A and B are shown apart, each in its own frame.
Chain A
Amino acid sequence: MKRNRWMSASLVLALTVSLLAACSGNGGNGGEVNSGGNGKTETESSSGGKKTEVIKLKMWGGVPVEAGPQAVVDAWNAEHPDIQVEYERFVNDDAGNMKLDTALTTGQGADLFVNYAMPRLKQRIDAGQALDLSEFADYNIDEQMGRDASQWKVDGKYYGMPTTRGISFMWLNKDMLDAAGLPIPPADWTWADLREYAKKLKTDATWGLLRHEAIFMNPFNSVLESVGVTRADGTSNLDHPLLKEGFSTWHDMMFADKSTPTYGEQMTSKMPVDTMFLKGESAMLDAGGFIFRNANNLTDNPRTFKIAFATTPRMSADQQGAKAAGGLGDVLSINAKSANKEAAWQFLKWYADGGMLPMAAGGRIPASKSVNGDEAAALLLKGVEDKYDIDSLKKVVFGQFETFVESLPQQVVDIRKAEYEKYLLQQAELDASLAEMAEKHNEFLKQQP
């Protein structure tokens, strides 16, 4: 009997231990296994029977392979029989990035990889995974990509090359604007103007404004870029008056004007804002270039109306030197431990200077000055030229703006979200939410080494 009790007690212990392991061992959701080695295979060349080495490279990116990357690597592979590139897609979320980081850490064949956010790039630099590109002297990133490229420098060096240009902007249903007698708003409009537009454009059947979840915080981040994430004394600036104004305007659009869906409604129904806009259920959509993939697909999203574009409004006229969220992106790095850095660099230059053009059809506009902007525009608009207001498209989508790269750590993003959610769900007063936000941010700042 006694022995039995011991057995059961140890069983309980084993149960609890395995629970813990299940919690912690949930990592690299099945890392991809690659033939690996040094990434080279030997083949008989048809001519002389001499052996030539074919270098194999693997590029990891977040764009679905059929939305451009396959066409890109096919074009390269046809031109370069000695360097063959394979594309591996990872989903750009926590789990997907973990998969990439696991592959990088364990040397499972990722020679090139795309970074979509500054904190992730920094992490990879700290982990010694991203190659310092200054070892290659034959390419001037600043010159090719323009002034804004330097926002991707870390400690004065490039550990990845930004390849795309794109800001977040407003999509407008031109037909609805015309019907309401509203002009396309000027580049320096404000959230107060936006609120007026939304109010006038709203009808019983259509929203005035829809906002895409991915860019909810862009105007707020733009304010932080203008006023600083922290004050001069090093404390949090998340409760800045301009941010307060922004949250309060957005709140009032939901609850007073009812010109935009409430936060709770949008979140709980996972509102497909892009298809709603393309169906004509909203006059405006706050989003970015990533909508082109759907907007150009007239089979799945048929529409008769024309789309025009406007910049994302400033929070208020008080926001000095407002910059557009976005700028350069899709930062392509070379794995510091890759066996074929030189070949990867060849590919990287080719990719940035035009090789990536097939991805323009999906809204990824090349940043390099070696790429003819008209060519990218033509690709983007192929077959749908008459569905856009070309003038505002050129001014906004292909326009030149001062931009910034969002670089708040994920922890701060989460702290901010947890608090503004309570306000937008009408469960806390704005002042209390902002105070809480700032306090938690300060705690976070204290923890940082």
Chain B
Amino acid sequence: MSGWRKKERLWGLLFIGPNLLGVTLFFILPALFSFGLLFTDYRFANPDMNFVGLGNLKRLFHDELFYLALKNTALFLASVPVSIGLAFLVALALNKSVYLRSLLRAMFFMPYITSGIAIAFVWMLLFQPSKGPINQLLRAVGIENPPGWFSTTDTSMLAIDIIWIWFMLGYFMIIYLAALQELNSELLEAAKIDGARGWVTVRRIIWPLVSPTTFLLLVTGLIMSIKTFGIIQAITQGGPGNSTTIVSLYVYRTAFSYYEMGYASAISWVLFAIILFITLIQWFGQKKWVHY
């Protein structure tokens, strides 16, 4: 290796050093530590800790609330593809010359940079079943019994999904906009000459061309969503009747309300396995629909 290359490598290490140190200290080591806790009955601050082997996992597989949380997580994650689809359409519209384009772009992106707690409170007001603007509107257009949103177990997750779709939309849209700008205009022109119009261009040319972006958004969007719980904790605390308790919230509750660190570690590692599994499926499934 030449001296120049060596030097370059050293600089590279120096640049990523601080970040690597942070990740090691605050992510990797705690993660490994929690893997150790998985096999214990450790309760926070209690020095009396016993090795319980796979006891926590056994308990988990008989835990009804865990299965409910899994189901809720699946319902919650359904918002991600919807949001990605909408973001694609919005990005398409805003990529063309429309009035107030920059303003609209900024508006769609605003939620993503707004404080989660503020979002939670505003949406809680909007969704309020009797006096909230959403149900007022629904009543005004003739729907006599609008949904109870957060006040029923059937609609609370739907309301959370709507908030989440709206929240993620801006981020997805910005990434799509970048992808659309990068599109090879020759391909589009060729398609046009061949007689492709409007929707056909979108479906046959643009959508396949941005498929790597879609794939990226799907993977990162699912991972980002699966670990979210702040917004749910702020609005419903997992209720009513545990209908919005997703796995990450259950981890939080077990660890920081019940102090059962061993059991919480077990849940988070199972969650990790699930995320890894989903991601691998997507990874291998991409060959079928992602075009580089």
Stretch of B10-18, B28-36, B91-99, B173-181 that contacts chain A? B28-36
From the candidates B30, B151, B275, name the one contacting A25 in the complex (CB within 8 A).
B30
Q: Total contacts A to B, CB within 8 angstroms?
A: 144
**When each residue 246-266 of chain B gets 1 if its CB lies under 8 Å from chain A and 0 otherwise, what string results?**
001001110111110000110
Contact across chains for A16 and B251 when beta carbons are under 8 A apart? no
Interface residues of A in 372-422 (CB under 8 A from B): 410-411, 414, 417-419, 421-422
Contact across chains for B239 and A23 when beta carbons are under 8 A apart? no
* Residues in chain A near residue B26, CB distance under 8 A: 21, 25
**10 further interface pairs, Cβ-Cβ under 8 Å (given A17-B28, A24-B264, A26-B252):** A15-B223, A17-B31, A22-B27, A22-B227, A98-B256, A101-B259, A264-B150, A268-B129, A422-B153, A425-B152
* Residues in chain A near residue B81, CB distance under 8 A: none
* Residues in chain A near residue B151, CB distance under 8 A: 263-265, 267-268, 425
Q: Does A104 contact B (CB under 8 A)?
A: yes
**When each residue 17-53 of chain B gets 1 if its CB lies under 8 Å from chain A and 0 otherwise, what string results?**
0000001001110110010000000011111100000
Main secondary structure of the interface of B (DSSP, over half): helix
6 tightest A-B contacts by CB? A264-B151, A21-B27, A127-B45, A422-B241, A421-B240, A21-B31
Complex Cα gap A127–B47 (Å): 6
CB distance from A193 to the nearest CB of B (A): 29
18 A-B pairs with CB atoms under 8 Å apart are A19-B223, A21-B28, A23-B227, A24-B34, A24-B265, A26-B256, A94-B256, A123-B43, A123-B45, A126-B48, A128-B47, A265-B129, A265-B151, A268-B124, A414-B257, A418-B239, A421-B241, A422-B241
Complex Cα gap A418–B245 (Å): 10
Chain A interface size, under 10 / 10 to 19 / 20 to 34 / 35 or more: 35 or more
Q: Does A95 contact B (CB under 8 A)?
A: yes
Given the interface pairs A16-B276, A418-B241, the reply to whether A265 lies near B227 with Cβ below 8 Å is no
Q: Does A203 contact B (CB under 8 A)?
A: no
Contact across chains for A268 and B272 when beta carbons are under 8 A apart? no
Contact across chains for B240 and A425 when beta carbons are under 8 A apart? yes
Complex Cα gap A193–B278 (Å): 57
Nearest residue in A to B275 (C-beta to C-beta)? A16
From the candidates A13, A101, A123, A269, name the one contacting B128 in the complex (CB within 8 A).
A269
CB distance from A8 to the nearest CB of B (A): 8
From the candidates B45, B153, B264, B275, name the one contacting A101 in the complex (CB within 8 A).
B45
Q: Does A18 contact B (CB under 8 A)?
A: yes
Interface size on B, residues (CB 8 A): 59
* Residues in chain B near residue A24, CB distance under 8 A: 30-31, 34, 251, 255, 264-265, 268
Complex Cα gap A18–B23 (Å): 8
Q: Does A45 contact B (CB under 8 A)?
A: no
CB distance from B264 to the nearest CB of A (A): 7
Contact across chains for B283 and A268 when beta carbons are under 8 A apart? no
Given the interface pairs A12-B219, A129-B45, A268-B150, the reply to whether A19 lies near B275 with Cβ below 8 Å is yes
Complex Cα gap A418–B237 (Å): 11
From the candidates A17, A26, A265, A418, name the one contacting B242 in the complex (CB within 8 A).
A418
Given the interface pairs A17-B31, A427-B154, the reply to whether A23 lies near B240 with Cβ below 8 Å is no
Contact across chains for B131 and A447 when beta carbons are under 8 A apart? no
Complex Cα gap A440–B64 (Å): 9
Complex Cα gap A351–B34 (Å): 41
* Residues in chain B near residue A25, CB distance under 8 A: 26-27, 30-31
Contact across chains for A94 and B153 when beta carbons are under 8 A apart? no
Contact across chains for B152 and A21 when beta carbons are under 8 A apart? no
* Residues in chain B near residue A15, CB distance under 8 A: 219-220, 223, 279
Interface residues of A in 4-33 (CB under 8 A from B): 9, 12-13, 15-27
Q: Does B148 contact A (CB under 8 A)?
A: yes
Complex Cα gap A352–B269 (Å): 47
Q: Does B130 contact A (CB under 8 A)?
A: yes
Given the interface pairs A24-B268, A98-B256, the reply to whether A104 lies near B45 with Cβ below 8 Å is yes
From the candidates A19, A410, A425, name the one contacting B258 in the complex (CB within 8 A).
A410
Given the interface pairs A24-B31, A264-B152, the reply to whether A123 lies near B259 with Cβ below 8 Å is yes
Complex Cα gap A20–B223 (Å): 10
Q: Does A270 contact B (CB under 8 A)?
A: yes
Q: Does A105 contact B (CB under 8 A)?
A: yes
* Residues in chain B near residue A425, CB distance under 8 A: 148, 151-153, 240-241
CB distance from B16 to the nearest CB of A (A): 13
Q: Does B192 contact A (CB under 8 A)?
A: no
Contact across chains for A23 and B268 when beta carbons are under 8 A apart? yes
Complex Cα gap A104–B47 (Å): 13
**When each residue 228-272 of chain A gets 1 if its CB lies under 8 Å from chain B and 0 otherwise, what string results?**
000000000000000000000000000000000001110111100
Nearest residue in B to A264 (C-beta to C-beta)? B151
Q: Does B87 contact A (CB under 8 A)?
A: no
